[in-house]
Amino acid sequence: MKKVLIIPGLGEYDEYVEMLTRCWRKYGLEPVIHQMHWSDGEHFALKLEKLVAVVDALSKDGSVISLVGLSAGASAALNLFLERDHAIDRVVSICGRIRKGDQTGYRSFETRTKSSRAFAESVMLFAKEEKSLSVEQRKRIMTVRPLFGDALVPASTTHIDGARNVTIPTAGHIFSIGMSLSICSRPILQFLNA
């Protein structure tokens, strides 16, 4: 069974994610949720070290590992992919801000990352390293965003050139994450199992 390390966002909603991904096992995918504790004041570099240790432990038995990053967890998943490319099969970013963007006000980078220095550091790190992704690596990445808009994460901050960039027929942030993990999960499950 393939292991899927799921990295939630700022909301720390493990039970919700666990419930929505429980049925993934029948598709040969074993969800493993890793809580980031985004607002504990710890720098992202330390959080990334912990994620690397999780991947190293999961891969000891030769398991195939993929990553799913939800919201703030998306940039963390992509940074982890860059650190452990050899051990990670695929990465899915769901409703994730992966670059700063030029929005102002409520949807601005500064406003959305105010509660978590680690989240801001994660986004800035991936934005700096994104250009280093190879063509082959980009093919192993999927981004997912709602077709009808996300009040927290602007569409322009979610896609990666050369990746499989998917829209689902939803609107909103939390609702779209939930739908991506459940009713609209088919493209994600197929990608993870490809």
166-193 tens-digit pLDDT: 999 999 999 999 999 999 999 999 999 9
- The residue range of the domain holding 172 is 2-193
DSSP letter, residue 85? G
Residues 6+ apart with CB under 8 A from 126: 75, 78, 79, 82, 98, 99
Residues 6+ apart with CB under 8 A from 34: 5, 6, 7, 51, 54
Rounded to two decimals, what is the model's pTM? 0.96
124: helix, strand or coil: helix
31 bridge partner residues? 4
| Cα distances (angstroms) measured from residue 95 to each of 98, 142, 174 | 9, 11, 9
20-55 tens-digit pLDDT: 999 999 999 999 999 999 999 999 999 999 999 999
Number of domains in the chain: 1
Residue 11: per-residue pLDDT: 83
* Distance, first Cα to last Cα, the chain: 13
The CATH number that applies at residue 75 is 3.40.50.1820
69 bridge partner residues? 7, 93
SS3 content of the chain, % helix, strand, coil (to 5): 45, 20, 35
